[in-house]
Amino acid sequence: MKKLWRLTPMFLVSVALMFAFACSSDEEAVSTSDAAATSTAVPVVESTKGPGASKQEKGTIVFAQSTLQCPHGVNTVYCGAYDSVAWGIGEDLFTWRWTDAGKAPNGGINYEAGQIAESYTLSDDLSSLSVKIRSGVKFHKGYGEMTADDVVHSYNKTNPMITPHSIAPSAANFASLFGKNPAVADGQNVNFSFENFDVAWVNNLMNTGGFVGVVIHSKKAFDENDEDWAKENVVATGPYEVESWIRDDTAVFNAWDGHWEFPNPQARKIIVKAVPQNEVRIAGMQTGEIDATELALKSVPEMVAAGFATTTAGNANQFSFYFSGNMWESVHAGTGAKLDIAGSGVYAREIPWIGNPFSPKDSNNPDGMDDMEQARLVRWAVASSLDRDTINSELLGGLGTPNYVAFIDPKNEYHKEEWKIAYDPGGSVASLEKAGYSKKGDYFFELPIFVPSGSNGGLGEEIADAVGGYMEAIGLKTPVLKYPYAVHRPGLVGRTSTIPILYSDDDGQSVYPHDKPKGLVNSSLTRGGYCVCFETPTIAELYKKAAKEPSLAKRLDYADQFIDHVHYWALQPGVVALPQLTTYNPNVISDWVMQPTPFGTSTFANIKLK
């Protein structure tokens, strides 16, 4: 029988079960510590209990997820930008829409549906873009009609080449796409000049569906107040207006009637609660305190069998390794400027999983082997140490898919058999020994891994524990570091991180088309902004070619070359692909067609109530 290392049993949480459910008011949030202080008994809820009546007033939906980031009121911050656009708080120029919305997610996807944009004109030489802004779009909180100036303000605040302190999710992408070229208002149009044209500008980079984009905020609200005010107060244009938003606690949204696309949503009030424990989210669904939630996949089959329903925005997260620190570029792929990587802190000491192309010979290389091959063997040892099938069955309830290399889902029509990685712990040990390492006691050496706390509804941390256990089994001492992603991000932006990270990354989403140019944040092109913290010249060149290539066949070929490259070097081996499912109470919600997105739960405005 296969053993899943470090698999922690699922227990009902005691004190936390009282969470904010102790409050009966839609408006009031009770913290975990307050609830613990007032509770005297802990109800035990059977896992097979089916859905009952909601404890909310009709028209109010309580949605729970493992974390709640800070409000995204200005584009210089990271915060909850992805949630804001998925839920319907903010909007960008373009978005994704099912081509057959009534059959989602079985229909095709329109990857460039106009949102704030009404139309666009792209110059023949691909150097510039003019976007006509939709008229009649109103800002929340009485800040008037949106204009081209608001779009300019929002885009320029995001771009770190114009606003250096921007750490927005799309900051790195805009640094490459626009460089120092600011967006400029021209009547009802906004004009953009490209520094590095990218064919994905419309379906990914300037698009709320594409894991990048921005939220269009009110320039007037920003000017009348200041940036600190904007960090706490969201003034955007979506079908829901923010009433309140407290990080790691509760956010309350009210329907914004008269929205251009979603007028008069049936769900009049949305209350989003941060509920870290999966067991507590299950209990809340069973007692009617929660109407919809994201659950660990392992819990979903039993909930469905008990009578709950699920919906999806059509995506699966490709939970994968990214071996940060492998910085192999010597010149900036965009500007040609010299990069002093060899003298950076990344190569200040020997790190087994990081190859050094600048000093490929060192004292611990076996005869005839350079440092690049030695580090490749270490990464391959990790990649082949994982029993992906058991992780899927034990932690994901069999609902996921073993994943072998990030950026390609095994279910994708373009996936190749040669990209699979067999579970081979014996081979892993042999690779480490071939690389010149021998055990000192129980371990060859220490190889820590980082997983963002709360990732994938908290399941990411369980997967990381299992991964760490498999690595320990082949003789790698593996501390599993768990803390907020925002704490880790500065090291990725600064290109100083050397700890492998386990998460999905921007492009690790199954909903993306395979021909999408791959590897922007795996290259120096996004310096000044985010990367996964490994960079290779091959990736940079493939990305630049694909980004400017109008031929689908050629873009598919470049995509295959990218996968071949990262597969051979084991730079981003996959673990599992996790379908993003939202579980809801069918006694409250009769139907919920989400629009396509990589962000999980989306489109509260499409909820149909009983």
Instruction: For residue range 210-228, list pLDDT tens digits in order.
Output: 767 899 999 999 999 999 9
Determine, yes or no, domain membership for 329: yes
Q: What was the pLDDT predicted at 564?
A: 98
Alpha-carbon distance 450 to 455, whole Å? 11
110 or 12, which is more confident? 110
Determine, yes or no, domain membership for 271: no
- Find the domain containing 346 and state its range: 317-423+501-579
Q: Are residues 231 and 322 in the same domain?
A: no
In order of 16, 409, 421, 573, the CA distances from 577 in angstroms are 29, 7, 14, 12
Give me the count of residues in the chain: 610
- Which structure tokens are listed for 44? 């035990």
Burial class (CB within 10 angstroms; exposed 0-12, middle 13-18, buried 19+) of 21: buried
Alpha-carbon distance 540 to 534, whole Å? 11
Contacts of 213 (CB under 8 A, 6+ apart): 81, 85, 92, 93, 94, 170, 205, 206, 207
Tokens 């980079």, residue located? 205
Q: What was the pLDDT predicted at 107?
A: 62
Determine, yes or no, domain membership for 460: no
Ranked by mean pLDDT, the top range of 39-48, 486-495, 572-581 is: 572-581
Q: Which amino acid is at 132?
A: K
Q: Are residues 406 and 551 in the same domain?
A: yes
Q: Are residues 371 and 229 in the same domain?
A: no
Determine, yes or no, domain membership for 332: yes
Per-residue pLDDT, averaged over 67-81, amounts to: 91
Q: Are residues 191 and 95 in the same domain?
A: yes
Determine, yes or no, domain membership for 212: yes
Contacts of 608 (CB under 8 A, 6+ apart): 266, 589, 590, 591, 592
Q: Are residues 231 and 345 in the same domain?
A: no
Determine, yes or no, domain membership for 68: no
Grade residue 102 by pLDDT with cuts at 50, 70 and 90: low
What digits encode the pLDDT tens for the residues 224-261?
999 999 999 999 999 999 999 999 999 999 999 989 99
Determine, yes or no, domain membership for 453: no
Which of 238, 270, 296 is the last residue in one of the domains? 238
Grade residue 461 by pLDDT with cuts at 50, 70 and 90: very high
What digits encode the pLDDT tens for the residues 187-198?
999 999 999 898
Q: What is the DSSP string of 502-540?
A: EE-TTT-BTTS-TTS---GGGSGGGBTB---S-B-HHHH
Residue 173 has pLDDT above 50, yes or no: yes
Q: Are residues 418 and 545 in the same domain?
A: yes
CB atoms near residue 64 (< 10 Å): 27
Grade residue 4 by pLDDT with cuts at 50, 70 and 90: very low
CATH number, position 367 = 3.10.105
Determine, yes or no, domain membership for 169: yes
Q: Are residues 372 and 234 in the same domain?
A: no
Q: What was the pLDDT predicted at 601?
A: 94
Q: What was the pLDDT predicted at 2?
A: 39
**119 DSSP 8-state letter:** E
Q: Are residues 321 and 231 in the same domain?
A: no
Query: Structurally, how many domains does the chain consist of?
Result: 2
Q: Are residues 108 and 201 in the same domain?
A: yes
Residue 13 has pLDDT above 50, yes or no: no
Classify strands 240-245 and 250-255 as parallel, antiparallel or unpaired: antiparallel
Q: Are residues 231 and 103 in the same domain?
A: yes
Q: Are residues 383 and 514 in the same domain?
A: yes
Burial class (CB within 10 angstroms; exposed 0-12, middle 13-18, buried 19+) of 142: exposed
Which of 238, 264, 298 is the last residue in one of the domains? 238
User: Percent of the chain having pLDDT more than 90?
Assistant: 71
Q: Are residues 191 and 333 in the same domain?
A: no
62 or 44, which is more confident? 62
Per-residue pLDDT, averaged over 535-563, amounts to: 95
CATH number, position 120 = 3.90.76.10
Residue 29 has pLDDT above 50, yes or no: no
Residue 430 has pLDDT above 60, yes or no: yes
404 or 203, which is more confident? 404
Q: What is the model's pTM?
A: 0.75
Grade residue 94 by pLDDT with cuts at 50, 70 and 90: very high
Which of 209, 238, 267 is the last residue in one of the domains? 238
Return the exposure string of 312-337: e unless at least 16 CB atoms fall within 10 Å of the residue's CB, then b. bbbbbbbbbbbbbbbbbbeebbbeee
